Chains A and B, each alone.
Chain A
Amino acid sequence: MPDALLPDALLLAAPVAVPLALAATYPALGWRPATAWAGLASPAAVLACAGALATEVPSGGPATAYGGLLRADALTVWILLGIGAVGALACAASPAHLAAERTDPVSARRYGLLVHLFLAAMALATLTANLGVLWVAVEAATIVTAFLVGHRRTRAGVEAAWKYVVICSVGIALAFLGTVLVYFAARHAGIPEAHALDWPTLAAHADRLDPHTLRLGTSLAILGFGTKAGLVPLHAWLPDAYSQAPAPVSALMSGVLLAVSFTAVLRHKVIADAAVGTGFARALLLAVALLTLALAAALLLAQRDYKRMLAYSSMEHMSLIALAAAVGTHLATAALLLHMAGHGLAKAVAFCSSGHFAQLTPTTRIGRIRGLLGRAPVLGTTFALAVAALLGLPPFSLFASELAIARAGFTAGLGWAVALALVLMLAAFAALTSRSTRMLLGTPPGNPAPVRFGASVWLPLVAGLLACAALGVTTAPLTSLLDAAASIGGH
């Protein structure tokens, strides 16, 4: 790009390098007000680079650097924008959260280090064109978040961290086996070693790959990366990890980890669609999506803990995204990407708001919490609006994307699946509504005075809600990017 202000090499490396550099400052300088707020520099760098790439990639084609190791196409840029936005919300919420939890300096320092390492790993997983490096980055993200999940060294914290590491590492091992099989198919098709895991090469030559090997490889990759995206059968880590991790980390896992992992599924699906036809990945994703949705709806109905409620709501939304991927048309893929962004923002606001509820009430039991709106008017409102967004109410973007997924499903002849999904979503809707209203309305026990929070607490949350609503009204500045990204993932 001759007219670009910054070279591609810098734009592609900075989203990984800046969080890495910031991560290194925490062990050196510790967690103080200044370094805590400086943490916003990493999501800012990700957003800035993604913004710059968003202006050139849709028209000028993918940007590559470092011998094709890093590559940004429209899909990459879209996910990178999501990482930046959710990362900014989580980093902005972190100082207040750690202060409220009275975290000791050593734990706070480790928190800063690990959160930024996580952002670097996620940016690398998004930016790399090599399926092997993608796997390494996703597994690295699992490892760095283990101690964030086990942040509190209680029995529940240790249990959640253990389950998280074991289930995710094993699930992701399946994805590695899938990657190895794809590599084997590519080598057998005569693709040289240096390019045999290169996604653009594989996508371009997919018709030469052996279909039997690729079927096995793709199933393993979908199940493996599906583990980290919260899809059945290896989803059991998700509610435990979300309920034990600090609220900003739950926001990051919900908005960033799930989206990046599902993008890995999407990348493998593109290769499989071209090599063995669209029916194979569609059948697998449909089964996974409907099972996940049924499970999430059932457990939402029975839920008594609000953090776990938000976790199962994440599974519900990921299953919708998987359903859209199964449909696989251009409209469905655009809706899927919009849904990912909207869900990431809304869930981040919901988690970050609920993180402060711990100061108002020691319990996370829904039945024992009343009148949050009266006790903390501003945070109660942001939580209520985030839940409204998650329920798919307008003007938030999830309304538009859910509608588009349903329409795409009916057009593609998958009406039965969409109808079944709608029934299950109705159950989830009812469960989420009744439990949230119970927590928000009514008079709190003992009638305590309302608690006021500073602007640094609620301003990022309001910004997140505004962004989610703006995406629901119009995708105007990003329409061409979304369109180009949907052309990559869809058919």
Chain B
Amino acid sequence: MDPGLYTQLLDLACGAFLLAAVLVLWRRELASFIRVFTAQGLALAAIAALLGAREHRWDLLGVAVLIALLRAALLPYLMRRALTAGGETHETEPLVNVTASLLTAAVLTLLAYAATRPLTDLAPSSATRALPIGLAVVLIGFFTLATRRRALSQVVGFLLVDNGITAVAFLAASGVPLIVELGVSFDVLFAVLVLQVLTTRMRAAFGGTDLDDLRELHD
């Protein structure tokens, strides 16, 4: 592949990847979280596919297909099912309002660039230069987890963290070995399934999925 085109496409995919994370902070409808997450899964698969094409590694293209199936099809399907079962459509007022959230996302992105400087300096290439994007998505995922109050928003936050880490793995070292990648994918899938079952139980026990209601256990 032409190096210039490769860099442009990689940067485009990484930009879409980061934008999706920021959109999660912006939107309030739970259904749009799922659409945005699907788009992010596709961007992640595109990053893997571009690296595979660049390095002529067919196994990476296989991993890209796996990622697309899991993160852009199966996980969104599971979340959509949980959403229709629940009947809740909107995030309640988050702890931090949208404007402040977006500003925080900008600060977190800068922080990610600062923290990954040693890594980018170690092996400068167009892939490692995009590496801060992965870490920025991890940090935005943490922020979503900490400030959003619906069960589904926390699941999306957890998946943002996971997508970000996978992106870091691809951009830094063209992905972890296949056995680890498969293990991680299964773990993520099962974690989401478990959280889905727990959401159903939460609805049965508390009559909703507002995490502020979880205050039975304390010291």
Contact = CB atoms under 8 A, between A and B. Distances in A.
A208 interface: no
Interface in A47-102: none
B177 A194 contact: yes
Contact of A162 (B162, B198, B215): B198
Contacts of B197: 147
Interface string A120-135: 0000000000101101
A239 B219 contact: yes
B130 interface: no
Contact of B172 (A140, A184, A302): A184
Contacts of A187: 173
A245 to B, nearest CB: 12
A177 B158 CA distance: 14
Interface string A175-206: 01101110110011000011011000000000
A150 interface: yes
A177 B138 contact: yes
A136 B187 contact: yes
Interface string B172-188: 11001101100110110
A158 B205 contact: yes
Nearest to B199: A162
B172 A150 contact: no
B202 interface: yes
Contacts of B161: 170, 173
A303 B219 contact: yes
Interface string A135-174: 1100110110011001001111011111101100110010
A308 interface: yes
A177 B173 CA distance: 12
A193 B165 contact: no
Nearest to A69: B179
Contacts of A139: 184, 187, 191
A180 B198 contact: no
Given A146-B194, A181-B172, A162 B202 contact: yes
Nearest to B200: A158
Contacts of A147: 194, 197
Secondary structure call for the A interface: helix
B195 A177 contact: no
Interface stretch (A210-218, A322-330, A376-384, A458-466): A210-218
Contacts of B54: none
Contact of B184 (A130, A154, A176, A302): A176
Interface residues of A, number: 52
A243 interface: yes
Secondary structure call for the B interface: helix
Contacts of A158: 198, 201-202, 205-206
Contacts, number: 137
A169 B217 contact: no
A401 to B, nearest CB: 28
Nearest to A299: B219
A138 to B, nearest CB: 9
Contacts of B69: none
A133 B173 CA distance: 17
A243 B47 CA distance: 44
Contacts of A197: 176-177, 180
Nearest to B165: A177
Interface in B141-195: 142, 145, 151, 154, 158, 161-162, 165, 168-169, 172-173, 176-177, 179-180, 183-184, 186-187, 190-191, 194-195
B145 A181 contact: no
A308 B201 contact: no
Contact of B173 (A166, A169, A184, A303): A184
B118 A155 contact: no
B54 to A, nearest CB: 16
A156 B162 contact: no
A150 B214 CA distance: 14
Lowest 10 A-B CB distances belong to which pairs?
A: A132-B180, A136-B183, A212-B118, A184-B172, A156-B216, A159-B214, A139-B187, A180-B169, A240-B217, A155-B205
25 contacts: A132-B176, A132-B180, A132-B184, A135-B180, A139-B184, A140-B190, A147-B194, A147-B197, A158-B198, A160-B217, A161-B198, A162-B198, A162-B214, A163-B214, A165-B198, A169-B158, A169-B191, A170-B161, A173-B165, A177-B168, A180-B172, A183-B176, A184-B173, A197-B177, A240-B217
Interface of B: 115, 118-119, 122-123, 138, 142, 145, 151, 154, 158, 161-162, 165, 168-169, 172-173, 176-177, 179-180, 183-184, 186-187, 190-191, 194-195, 197-198, 201-202, 204-206, 211, 214-217, 219
